[in-house]
Amino acid sequence: MTAALTSFLEASVRTATPLALAALGELVVERAGVINIGLEGIVLGGAFGALLGAGSHHISLGFAAGCLAGIVVAGLFGVFAVAMRADQIITGTAINLLVLGLTGALYRGLYGATGAALTVPTTGSVAVPLLSRIPVLGPTFFDQPPPTYFVYVVAPVLWWLLYRTHAGLAIRAIGERLESARVSGVHVPRWRWITLLIGGALGGVAGSTLVLSQSGTFAEGMSAGRGFIAIAIVVLGRWRPMGVLIASLLFGAASALQFLFQAMGWSVPYQLFLALPYVLTLLALAGFAGRRIKAPAALGRAG
């Protein structure tokens, strides 16, 4: 039973890792009042970039290329949504379709019409000395692929950035009181660009994780809604880094439950668990109504 529990928890954290990375990036973006629906495309672009990078040279280049691809896609979003002040929802939707089409076509163009599976090496898990020996929690949190440890670093750094620096104050001010921020001399487009590129980088790493730490290959549309899930996670995590981590774990656990149930041969429809996080997000959102905690007030508004 402990073994089953351990492997379930380990799978939860593994599944949660790319979600947490993408969601932490989106969190920063949304705090600056931008809702980037194009996150789905960023994750997919990151996955494709990781394949190109790792396939051409080495796994570390894969992460760099994935990260860069995420930044490029986020930059394209920024050109429209920040520089041109175009509508964020429409831009994001178009970016998603664009990346889906481009990566699908390029993948088949580069690796043959069949799109036959091209595999790249994966990172595998790296056990942290001592910590990974703790029963249950050790293997769960400290015997994971490197991107998981990256999350442990990024989350507190982002918290510090948002709540303990002038930059964070400017970002949050834009998200909450756009006009006041502008009047008090905050350069709205500049901060929105910075947050977008941070979000793109993290989303790109999230996509890289899918390829380089999980599947070892690319498939058309392989982000499979993870960018959208990350947006839900930001909402469920109440726009806070720690909340986002917990919400990611919840989504990861819900996905991992299906494997657990399949392994156990239990006949509860696994779609129930797949749908559960979305339903929870909706309920949580409805529960926030009238409370102190709500979306950044300027979310979605052109700067």
According to the binding rule CB under 8 A, does residue 2 interact with another protein?
no
Helix (H, G, I), strand (E, B) or coil at 297: coil
Amino acid letter, 293:
I
According to the binding rule CB under 8 A, does residue 251 interact with another protein?
no
Which of these ranges, 54-62, 139-147, 189-197, 277-285, lies near another protein under the rule CB under 8 A? 277-285
Helix (H, G, I), strand (E, B) or coil at 126: strand
* Torsional class of 209: left (φ above 0), alpha (ψ -120 to 50), beta (otherwise): alpha
Query: Smallest Cα–Cα separation from 95: which of 58, 132, 69, 122?
Result: 69
- Minimum Å gap between C-beta 28 and another protein is 18
Nearest residue (CB) to another protein, 24 versus 154: 24
Which of these ranges, 78-86, 126-134, 135-143, 195-203, lies near another protein under the rule CB under 8 A? 78-86
Query: Smallest Cα–Cα separation from 248: which of 154, 164, 174, 172?
Result: 154
The DSSP symbol for 84 reads S
Tokens of 54: 């790792």
The DSSP symbol for 224 reads T
* Residue from the set 56, 58, 60, 84 that interacts with another protein by CB under 8 A: 84
- Minimum Å gap between C-beta 225 and another protein is 6
Nearest residue (CB) to another protein, 151 versus 226: 226
Q: Judge residue 222's burial from the number of C-beta atoms within 10 Å of its C-beta, 0-12 exposed, 13-18 middle, 19 or more buried.
A: buried
Measured at the CA of 147, the angle between CA 141 and CA 148, to 5 degrees, comes to: 15
User: How many other C-beta atoms are found inside a 10 Å radius of the C-beta of residue 57?
Assistant: 12
Nearest residue (CB) to another protein, 105 versus 137: 105
Nearest residue (CB) to another protein, 110 versus 126: 110
According to the binding rule CB under 8 A, does residue 93 interact with another protein?
yes
Amino acid letter, 258:
Q
Binding mask of the shown chain, residues 97 to 136, with x at each position contacting another protein by CB under 8 A: xx-xxx-xxxxxx---x-x---------------------
Binding mask of the shown chain, residues 32 to 61, with x at each position contacting another protein by CB under 8 A: ---x-x------------------------
Question: Which whole-number Å values give the CA distances from 97 to 6, 37, 94, 289, in the listed order?
Answer: 38, 11, 5, 32
- Residues near another protein (CB under 8 A): 35, 37, 80, 84-91, 93-98, 100-102, 104-109, 113, 115, 220, 225, 228-229, 231-232, 235, 269, 271-272, 274-275, 278-279, 281-282, 285-286, 288-290, 294-295, 297-302
